[in-house]
Structure formats: C-alpha cells, structure tokens
Amino acid sequence: MSIHVEPVYADIEPLAWDSQFFGLSTARLNFVSEFSSAKGRITASQLDEYALVQAKIPAQQLHLADQLSALGFSLVEGEADLLLSVNSSSVSSLPAGSEECDKYQALITATPSDIPLLKAAATRVFAASRFRAPWYQPDDSGRFYATWVENAVLGTFDHECLLVNDEYGGLAGFVTMRNIGCHEARIGLLAALPGKYHQGIGKKLMSAAQQWCQNHRIQRLRIATQISNITALRLYTRSGAIIESTAYWLYRGRNDSI
C-alpha cells in the first residue's frame, strides 16, 4: 500500500552555539504554514548541509512526525511543559519573624565557589537527556548541563542558582531560575545531588523556587521536563503545576537513511 506524505515547510535555523559546543554542525527547523509567504519546502539535500538537524513538534500534530520521518528524522524524546501559579498566601499567612517564616524566606544563592561541586553533580545527574547517543557523544549531556549550571551561577544564562542544604548544612540540591518577563519565570535545572534522593529535597527546591518568584513579583512559574522523567512530573504536579503542553523532539543526522 502506498502512503502519501505531505512535504515539510520550514526555515532552517543554524545553531551556532550548539555547533561550537558539541563540535557538530547543528540546525533546527522552524515550521511555517504551507501558505506563508516565507514558506520553504525542506529537501534532503538542504538537511545534508548539517551534521544534525533538530525539530520540536507539538504532540498533537503527529502528521509532522510522519512528514519528518519521510526525511529521515527519528524520535528522540518527549517533553512536557508545565505551568505553576505562584501563590503568596502560604508565606503571607505566617507571622513575621516566626521561625517558620524565617526558614521559608532564607534563600541560599550559589556563588562562584560552589561551581566545581555543582558542575560535578550536574554531570552525573543529567547524564541522560535528549543530548544522547547515537547523535551525541556519551559525555555530551553531562557536559552540557554542567556548563548550564555554571552559567546560571554567573548569571549569564539563567539569572540565579538557588541551593538547598541538608540537615547537617551540606549541599543537597540546586535549582536555576530565569525571569522571562511578563511576570513569568522558568526553572532551568532542578536536581537533588547524588546520594540525596528520597529525602524531600525536590519539595524544598520547589518551595525555594516559588519564594524566589514571590520576591521578584513573579506570578507564573514554567517548568519543562522529559516525559520519561516520571519522578519530576510527580514532583511538579504535586506542587500544583499543570501540564500546559507536550511535544516531541526529533533528530536527523547527516548519515540517517531516507
């Protein structure tokens, strides 16, 4: 049986930073309407100009997955984007100066001296992601997220990195925050350190993130995570976040068959 697949209309955006960081000429598809004046029909020869081309499609638009598959793209990972309304009542109802209020409001901001430990933790915690084999090298994912957390501490990507300590004062987890405007913020990375799992660290990190939002007059907090990360999805939904959208990442390597 012959199956007809519609062509893909998109712009190809070269990703300079990714290309340099991974040592892999990389681009991303930005989809346009077939009827757009800026439309461009994507061909295999155009895609072959890059070692790797990424595409992110809304989960409900599976016809795009069929179209991309015909061009040699493969499914890599699913992604869920969640939205949490920041509620100030839990803090404003606490008596000023009370132990509970002081504990809740005592945010710890990472400093450059924390970077080596944070990078080492991120390398281990984020070893599995969409930056995976066979498209990337085995250590690329950990290296990418180690750079991310370093940049968050320095304020050059995310704006701040918050820390949570364990009961003995040792570092137990971190969360990076970015103000994206319009009274919204986004969590970049959130993780308990290796050996600190199942100790309620994730819940403490979410509380710290919400307190940071309140301090910056942020009303909505956005979080993205892999669909396969059930632990993270449970943490975010139990914190009150709702899934706003889902998507799929697909990749095409230069040597992928079509």
The C-alpha atoms of residue 219 and residue 213 are separated, in whole angstroms, by 7
In tens, the pLDDT along 133-172 reads 999 999 999 999 999 999 999 999 899 999 999 888 899 9
CB 37 within 8 A of CB 188: no
In tens, the pLDDT along 26-48 reads 999 999 866 555 568 899 999 99
- Per-residue pLDDT, 94: 37
Q: Where are the domains of the chain?
A: 10-78+249-253, 82-245
For residue 218, what pLDDT band results from cuts at 50, 70 and 90? very high
Coil vs helix vs strand at 71: coil
For residue 130, what pLDDT band results from cuts at 50, 70 and 90? very high
Residue 232 pLDDT greater than 50, yes or no = yes
Which residues is 82 bridged to in the sheet? 223, 243
For residue 100, what pLDDT band results from cuts at 50, 70 and 90? very low
For residue 85, what pLDDT band results from cuts at 50, 70 and 90? very high
Which residue in the list 50, 136, 236, 251 is annotated as catalytic?
236
Average model confidence (pLDDT) for the chain? 90
Residue 92 pLDDT greater than 70, yes or no = no
What percentage of residues in the chain have a pLDDT greater than 70?
87
CB 222 within 8 A of CB 190: no
- Per-residue pLDDT, 39: 60
> Is 1.10.3720.10 the CATH classification of the domain at 82-245?
no
- Per-residue pLDDT, 254: 75
Average of pLDDT values for 68-81? 97
236 is an active site residue = yes
Binding residues for acetyl-CoA: 229
Whole-structure pTM value:
0.87
For residue 102, what pLDDT band results from cuts at 50, 70 and 90? very low
- Per-residue pLDDT, 156: 94
Taking CB atoms within 8 Å and a gap of at least 24, the contacts of 173-180 are: 173/201, 173/202, 173/204, 173/205, 174/110, 174/118, 174/121, 174/149, 174/205, 175/205, 175/206, 175/208, 175/209, 176/148, 176/149, 176/152, 177/152, 177/209, 177/212, 177/213, 179/216, 179/218, 180/222
Binding residues: 229
Q: Token pair of 151, please? A: 């940049």
The C-alpha atoms of residue 90 and residue 183 are separated, in whole angstroms, by 19
In tens, the pLDDT along 175-200 reads 999 999 999 999 999 999 998 888 89
